[in-house]
Amino acid sequence: MPNLLYPLLSLVNEPSDLRELPRNSLKELATELRAYLIDSVSKTGGHLSSNLGTVELAIALHYVFNTPHDRVVWDVGHQTYAHKILTGRRDRMHTLRQFGGLSGFPQRAESEYDDFGTAHSSTSISAALGMALAARIKGEELRAIAIIGDGALTAGMAFEALNNAGVAECDLLVILNDNDMSISPPVGALNRYLAKLLSGQFYAAAKNAGKTVLRGAPPLFELAKRIEEHAKGMVVPATLFEKFGFNYIGPIDGHDLDSLVPTLENIKHLKGPQFLHVVTKKGQGYKLAETDPVAYHGPGKFDPAVGLQAPSTPPKQTFTEVFGQWLCDMAAHDPRLVGITPAMREGSGMAAFEQRFPDRYFDVGIAEQHAVTFAAGLACEGLKPVVAIYSTFLQRAYDQLIHDVAIQDLPVVFALDRAGLVGADGATHAGAYDLAYLRCIPNVSVACPADENECRQLLCTAYAQQHPVAVRYPRGAGVGVAVQSGLDALPFGRGQIVRAGKGVAILAFGTLLYPALQAASGLNATVVNMRWVKPLDVDLLLRVAAEHDALVTLEEGAIMGGAGAAVIEALHAAAILKPVLQLGLRDEFIEHGDPARLLSLQGLDPVGIEASVAGRFGDLLEPGRRTLKAVA
């Protein structure tokens, strides 16, 4: 029975239902879908602005193409909520980004309509090209489609794929979802007409026939080619993509279904690589999000009628905010400091820095490889670059980190945000591997602050070094430790005993220091704030090892190759044999969910830590402390 609030949308349980609707009902469907999206995201939180911008595009794609037979790859994937709703997941949207619920990104395991898992940018064209060529090799008739945003198109990987695709002789459609520009009414109207014309069979046939005739007269063929390029170049930015070997169509209004649907239907019958340029608006249809698409990019729960509201009590300062304030303070102190971000100004806390020091602020776009080598070039000339980057995004510049920074031993500071588990964004964004992939690189040091104030102090320490240093810190707020002003540094490569106990010593790396302290009260264990994974405070480690019967390493990172492995290596190098229990993230990808729950499932909350230690070293604990005690 149709839902009274969403009479058309309730009829669409999969794309085949959508294709049964008359075309003149699609505008009303878009209105319902947008309203459903706003209501749904307001209850769960999630990406909103970008999803409101792709409602019509999702409808048109599933209406025109035979999904899931035709392949659709959404770049990044945070704009796929409308796609999820139209592909059988409408009734599960209330579980979005929650433990056991729908992912905020496409996942192959979640739906047959999610043809490729995405969450990091600029992978769609490469993946769709692979699918298109696989179809050609297998003799299958299908269309592979990549939807990529104007931001994601700034990455080198996207252009590498375009360069390959233009000569690949396969049926690939690349759709540029351009939400960073607008179409004035006359240009928009003209381009609607041109898009239909340039995507039509008559134009394609006439163009090919003309080429056949004129190839016999090379001067005339070259003249005709130049005239065509000049004529198209006057009304559309076609030249670049035509040079890659694509047939360029657009730009067209991505919210105009009367333009989108017929253009896609024409393109469906064209052979070879096609490039469709659509222009959309972030937050489309919800005035508050249209006005401030950045604020509504990834909001938490909110009242759609009221919009985002400031919390009644001031929230704790986040690690990202601590970094942003430190960056401004250090820049005011040292004119050599430059700040670099790969398109994550707000996410990395650099908005204030850009306003105060615009000449020393560089947003290089979604180009992590370039960001790191660019920093290396700056460092070569005596500047002090600070690269603000997410842990999982630095993975994309690993070769540059080794080849361009570490081998040359350049003083670049990496402010590694989103280290450890990130909650709702899941496995693709969890900073689980940085300890392992950084500590194996010569010349690179790695610091793990336990709280907000220590984060500022260790950033000062890192900045004072003359070699590359990474300071890793988690998403969100810490325990609420007050952050001191000033630019005081902590000793390089030194840890600290913060609780004296007996029998067992817990070596904590990073913010798990505080759960360790809670667990230790039930174990009477010693707790050490190690602070540095590399260089490891070996002097402190050997002293603690000599005074205790067993050691426990604790890290919010992958156990394999991580901080615990560094401790064991150091003990073996010193010919010390002591039992060591390694606690951290297990050898598995950890999906989305509440961070506290995810840590608990990994045994990294106070109760889990105490249980693991008591279970392994119960005979080494003081009498009366061998029974697990729940710590509030």
DSSP states of 324-377: HHHHHHHHHH-TTEEEEESS-TTTTT-HHHHHH-GGGEEE--S-HHHHHHHHHH
The pLDDT of residue 216 is 55
What span, in angstroms and rounded, lies between the C-alpha atoms of 87 and 12? 8
Residue 211 has pLDDT above 80, yes or no: no
Q: What six digits make up the tokens of 203?
A: 């134009």
Q: What six digits make up the tokens of 402?
A: 């080794």
Q: What average pLDDT score do residues 560-580 get?
A: 97
Residues in the chain: 632
Q: What is the pLDDT of residues 293-334, one digit of tens each?
A: 989 998 999 999 999 988 777 788 999 999 999 999 999 999
Minimal CA–CA distance to 187: which of 257, 250, 258? 250
Residue 175 has pLDDT above 60, yes or no: yes
The pLDDT of residue 373 is 98
- Kindly tell me the number of DSSP H helices and DSSP E strands found in the chain: 25, 17
Query: Which DSSP string do the residues of 411-454 spell out, in sequence order?
Result: --EEEEESBB--STTGGGT-B-SHHHHHHTSTT-EEE--SSHHH
Residue 402 has pLDDT above 50, yes or no: yes
Read off the pLDDT band of 628 (50, 70, 90): very low
The pLDDT of residue 184 is 39
Q: In Å, how far are 80, 260, 295, 372, 391 from 591, measured between CA atoms?
A: 18, 35, 25, 28, 16
Residue 179 has pLDDT above 70, yes or no: yes
What span, in angstroms and rounded, lies between the C-alpha atoms of 489 and 213? 75
Q: What is the pLDDT of residues 8-41, one digit of tens each?
A: 999 999 999 999 999 999 999 999 999 999 999 9
Element (H, E) at 552: strand 550-558
Mean pLDDT is lowest, of 35-44, 291-300, 415-424, for 291-300
The pLDDT of residue 218 is 59
Residue 460 has pLDDT above 90, yes or no: yes
Residue written as token pair 């056991």: 100
User: Which amino acid, residue 86?
Assistant: L
Minimal CA–CA distance to 616: which of 516, 451, 504? 504
Q: What average pLDDT score do residues 350-358 get?
A: 97
Q: What average pLDDT score do residues 620-624 get?
A: 67
What span, in angstroms and rounded, lies between the C-alpha atoms of 174 and 133? 14
Sign of the dihedral defined by the CA atoms of residues 622, 626, 627, 632, in that order = positive
Q: What six digits make up the tokens of 60?
A: 């048109």
Angle at 240 between CA 237 and CA 241, to 5 degrees: 90
Chain centroid to Cα 189, Å, comes to 36
Q: What average pLDDT score do residues 340-362 get?
A: 95
What span, in angstroms and rounded, lies between the C-alpha atoms of 431 and 438? 12
Q: What percent of the chain has pLDDT over 70?
A: 89
Q: Which residues are known catalytic residues?
A: 282, 368, 396
What span, in angstroms and rounded, lies between the C-alpha atoms of 84 and 92? 9
The pLDDT of residue 150 is 87
Residue 191 has pLDDT above 90, yes or no: no
What span, in angstroms and rounded, lies between the C-alpha atoms of 95 and 91? 9
In the chain, the N- to C-terminal Cα span, in Å, equals 48
Q: What percent of the chain has pLDDT over 90?
A: 81
* C-beta separation of 571 from 580 below 8 A: yes
Q: What average pLDDT score do residues 440-461 get?
A: 98
User: Which amino acid, residue 519?
Assistant: A
Residue written as token pair 């003990």: 571
Q: What is the pLDDT of residues 512-529, one digit of tens each?
A: 999 999 999 999 999 999
Per-residue DSSP letter, 88? I
The pLDDT of residue 3 is 74
Read off the pLDDT band of 234 (50, 70, 90): very low
Q: What average pLDDT score do residues 373-399 get?
A: 98
Minimal CA–CA distance to 149: which of 46, 272, 281, 28? 281
What span, in angstroms and rounded, lies between the C-alpha atoms of 52 and 192? 22
Q: What is the pLDDT of residues 81-116, one digit of tens each?
A: 999 999 999 999 999 999 999 999 999 999 999 999
* C-beta separation of 488 from 355 below 8 A: no
- Looking at every residue in the chain, the average pLDDT score rounds to 90
Q: In Å, how far are 147, 150, 185 from 281, measured between CA atoms?
A: 15, 12, 15
Per-residue DSSP letter, 91? G
* C-beta separation of 593 from 423 below 8 A: yes
Mean pLDDT is lowest, of 282-286, 461-465, 624-628, for 624-628
Q: What average pLDDT score do residues 226-255 get?
A: 72
What span, in angstroms and rounded, lies between the C-alpha atoms of 319 and 402? 26
- At residue 111, the 3 state secondary structure works out as coil
What span, in angstroms and rounded, lies between the C-alpha atoms of 600 and 607? 8
Q: What is the pLDDT of residues 535-557, one digit of tens each?
A: 999 999 999 999 999 999 999 99
For each of the domains in the chain, give its residue range(s) and CATH number, in order of start. 9-291 (3.40.50.970), 319-472 (3.40.50.970), 496-620 (3.40.50.920)
* C-beta separation of 632 from 624 below 8 A: no
Residue 117 has pLDDT above 90, yes or no: yes
* C-beta separation of 72 from 131 below 8 A: no
The pLDDT of residue 213 is 47
The pLDDT of residue 618 is 85
Q: What is the pLDDT of residues 487-507, one digit of tens each?
A: 999 999 999 999 999 999 999
The answer, yes or no, to whether the previous bond of 251 is cis (omega within 30 of 0) is yes
The pLDDT of residue 237 is 56
Q: What is the pLDDT of residues 127-158, one digit of tens each?
A: 999 999 999 999 999 999 999 998 898 889 99
